[in-house]
Chain A
Amino acid sequence: MESIAPTRKTVRKRSLRDRITASKRRMQLTALLERSINGLLFIVASSSVLAVLFIFVFIFREAIPFFREEGFTEFLTGVNWFPSNVSPEFGALALFYGSAMVTLGATLVAAPLGLIVALFLSDVVPFSVRQVVKPVVELLAAVPSVVYGFFALVVFAPLLQSHGGILLAAGAAIIVIPAGVILSTVGADAATNWIPESGGKAARTTLLVLFLAGTAFLTFIMFRALMGIEVVSGTNALNVAIILGIMAIPTVVSVSEDSLTAVGRTLREASYSLGATRAETLLKVVVPAAKSGILAAIVLGVMRAAGETMVVWMASGNASKIPSPFYNFLEPVRTITATIAGEMGEADQVTGASRYSVLFALAVVLLLFVFVCNLVSEWSAQRVAHRARARRVATRRHKQC
């Protein structure tokens, strides 16, 4: 026993030292590996940044000859777009207007619908239903845009022409009726609060009925006006706005649902425990808390709509003029993206320098628009985050006092 014990000890010591050196070596190796992987990842990451930079540089470089030759005034303020004519004109204002109009319309479709679906999925339906429905909604994003375009051209445009009034009225009903009910409820509530001596239930109900009747009357008038509308050409701004809106919905739903879920149980439970209803919890707690995420979702959706080409090229009519009156969504419009796609084939450096470089000038405008959009969303998201943090700190200080 005694003779064995010390040898055992030395073996143990040696192995310990060995192990230490071995682990040191291993650490060095892992450090090296880590550094090399870091370097590789840095190259990959910076290559995507470089790609963006290259796109900017290339597009600006190709656009400069146009501005040098034709100047800015006609391009930015003219509405005559005849790049292929013998005496070409490059007034692109109508194209900007068309793009803005279609994007705005798509946002008006996608933002409310997407937000409602996201709220519904995150807070109303059971979790198991959400697990099924959300992927299905996201599947909408997997449909190729040319399929949407084909649908818009072959199915939706003729439908708009033959049943335009009814469709418009039905579409308006989907938006106006729930909005009217909610607004009149809120309005009645607010009004009862404003009237100091009452505050009784009776006053509230009568006001609610009055408000509802008012909105019903207004809706009725609007419906009659809409039913009378005849859509001459089905390939118009409305068609494209609706289809683009549908295309943007999965983005809006997916991102905003994520941010709504991220608000967490504690805030919701706190709200419920204070006696808030589900509607109050949703509108006054969950949505404000997820504001920045929702904004990001909407901006992402908007950018999808602004950059879409195929659907617009197939179904917007591509008439390069500002609709009259300017809010008339039933007239064909032409967007920047569709123009670039449509003119590219014939516009060669060989055959016409301005006709070619004007497309890059258009691309610059589009790029700047999307860039500004992105900046605004980043800025506002940051601001929201800052304000939230500031408020939290302030309340904590208040408590400490």
Chain B
Amino acid sequence: MRNRFYISFLAALSAAVILGIFAAGSSAFAATTIVMDGSTTVGPIAKAFAEYYMRTHPGVNITVSESGSGNGVKSLLNNKCDIANLSRFMKPEEFSACSSKGIMPVAHTIAMDGVAPIVHPSNGVKAITLKQLKAIYTGDITNWKELGGPDMKIVVISRDTNSGTYETFEKKVMNKDKMASDVEYVGSNGAVRQRVQSTQAAIGYVGLGFVDRTVKSLPVNGVAATRKTIQAGTYPIARPLYMFTNGYPQLGSHVHALVTMHYSEKGQEIIESLGFVPVTNY
């Protein structure tokens, strides 16, 4: 019996020691670690900002996770992150949930993003209207020949409902109508592009930063998704990208530097190089 007590006592002791080490470790790192969490669309910008900032400020450690806008809010709500990256504005319910927990979300608009419908480069269709786009996603148009293209059944690809890109598309294009049941859902912007570039009959939508030569982006209502049209606000499926902090960050702090980096020339350069539209024009 005594032996058993010994073992349990030892186990409890070692558990306490390990916990202590963890607690000490996390509190020691907290001073110089900044956590960013949220949208996969804002993720690349946040990563580039973090990389640049860590290079110029050794000793600062920034981690960026891409778990979706909703998860970003959840992290901010639970004090798990310093900056929440969102590709949509915070919802009223999320705001009230935050304020009930004593967290005051402040939005920083860091860039603009256009959601561009993309098709396979071999597709003959040259332009599309918002109405047609909606009809494709609700299942009213199912063949490319209805849009003047080849006689192929359209493979409709959407981002998963978890993403800010989806929510922007739903808001600006679907207008609260439901997508057809045979729409395929894909987990990331990169995966949408991958599916479209390898499928002749596919249509998908991605943030402007993910449009490249392997896919063809279609002008919507006669307006192509470019930097100029998005900045001017004439492109119909565009949205600002946000970073949210708990209260306005203390001036001169690391967090403040990160959420204002987009005003700097370097910040603009980073945003441009990633294919997004900066808010500044140097």
Interface residues, chain A, CB within 8 Å of chain B?
Answer: 32-33, 35-36, 39-40, 79-86, 94, 153-154, 157-158, 161, 232-235, 313-314, 317-321, 331-332, 334, 342-346, 348, 350-351
9 A-B pairs with C-beta separation under 8 A: A36-B7, A161-B198, A232-B152, A318-B160, A319-B185, A346-B70, A350-B97, A351-B70, A351-B94
* B178: interface (CB < 8 Å): yes
Q: Top 3 closest A-B pairs, CB basis?
A: A321-B181, A318-B185, A158-B198
Q: What chain B residues lie within 8 Å of A84 (beta carbons)? A: 161
Contact with A along B176-208 (1 / 0, CB 8 A): 101101111111000100110011111000000
User: Number of contact residues on B: which range applies?
Assistant: 35 or more
A313 and B187 contacting across the interface, CB-CB below 8 Å: yes
Given A40-B7, A86-B176, A351-B91, A332 contacting B184 (CB threshold 8 A): yes
Q: What chain B residues lie within 8 Å of A32 (beta carbons)? A: 1, 3
Q: What chain B residues lie within 8 Å of A343 (beta carbons)? A: 160-162
Q: What chain B residues lie within 8 Å of A85 (beta carbons)? A: 176, 178
Interface residues of B in 100-159 (CB under 8 A from A): 152-153, 155
Number of A-B contacts (CB under 8 A): 102
Residue from A40, A233, A332, A350 in contact with B93 in the complex, judged by beta carbons closer than 8 Å: A350
Apart from the given pairs A313-B187, A346-B68, A350-B74, 17 other A-B contacts in the complex at a CB distance below 8 Å: A39-B4, A40-B4, A81-B181, A82-B179, A153-B195, A157-B198, A161-B199, A161-B200, A232-B153, A233-B199, A233-B202, A235-B195, A314-B187, A332-B184, A345-B162, A351-B93, A351-B97
A346 and B182 contacting across the interface, CB-CB below 8 Å: no
A356 to B: closest C-beta gap in Å: 11
Given A232-B153, A345-B70, A350 contacting B162 (CB threshold 8 A): no
Q: What chain B residues lie within 8 Å of A313 (beta carbons)? A: 187
Residue on A with the closest CB to B3? A36
Q: What chain B residues lie within 8 Å of A79 (beta carbons)? A: 181
Q: What chain A residues lie within 8 Å of B178 (beta carbons)? A: 80, 82, 85
Q: What chain A residues lie within 8 Å of B200 (beta carbons)? A: 161
Instruction: Please measure, in the bound complex, the distance between the C-alpha atom of A320 and the C-alpha atom of B185, giving whole angstroms.
Output: 9
A350 and B94 contacting across the interface, CB-CB below 8 Å: yes
A237 to B: closest C-beta gap in Å: 12
Instruction: Please measure, in the bound complex, the distance between the C-alpha atom of A350 and the C-alpha atom of B77, giving whole angstroms.
Output: 10
Q: What chain A residues lie within 8 Å of B153 (beta carbons)? A: 232
* B217: interface (CB < 8 Å): no
Instruction: Please measure, in the bound complex, the distance between the C-alpha atom of A153 and the C-alpha atom of B199, giving whole angstroms.
Output: 11
